[in-house]
Amino acid sequence: MACLLLAAVSEAVVRVLPNDAPLRARLEYLTGAALFAGAFPTAIAGMLSKIVGFLGWLHLQKTSTQAPTMQQVMPEARARWHLRLSLVALAFNLFAAVWPLLAVPGGVVFAAASAGLGWSLALGLATWRRHLVTSRPSA
């Protein structure tokens, strides 16, 4: 939510500045970084982590007597690591409005955070499959 507020304020300031103001380009970058490296991916990743864990748990509840908990499907520890990487990427990308060279490490860390989210989702799927296979009744 802080990134949404930052983006709104910086965009409001951009709207009042003249087109040739040197600060305008930096604030436009700041608006984009706050939205596309902060608000949107964080909200999406948070929802994915909770929804995938819940849906996996819900399905296994219906098919198994020994279903794992939601925390076993999508552990909070993995979500916290993703959040930490995302915050580092966000910091790099926000400060890149002042020091443009920080955009490159910001992009690298953002890619690592995205890959970490993908890995976490893959592990959640693997946990779901493992419990699904072991809970099937033998024929």
What pLDDT was estimated at residue 137?
Answer: 61
Low-confidence ranges of the chain (pLDDT < 70): 136-139
**Terminal Cα-to-Cα distance of the chain (whole angstroms):** 52
**Tokens coding 9:** 């304020």
Print the domain residue range for 114.
2-135
- Written as six digits, the tokens of 132 are 């699904």
User: And the tokens for 34?
Assistant: 């706050």
Q: What is the pLDDT of residue 121?
A: 93
Nearest to 87 by CA among 28, 46, 31: 46
**In the prediction, which pLDDT does 15 show?**
92
Q: For the chain, how many structural domains are there in total? A: 1
Residue 125: both structure tokens together: 């799927």
Q: For residue 138, what pLDDT is reported?
A: 53
**pTM of the full predicted structure?**
0.82
- What's residue 136's pLDDT? 67
Cα gap 98→87, rounded to integer Å: 18
Return d(Cα 127, Cα 121) in angstroms, integer: 10
- pLDDT at position 41: 93
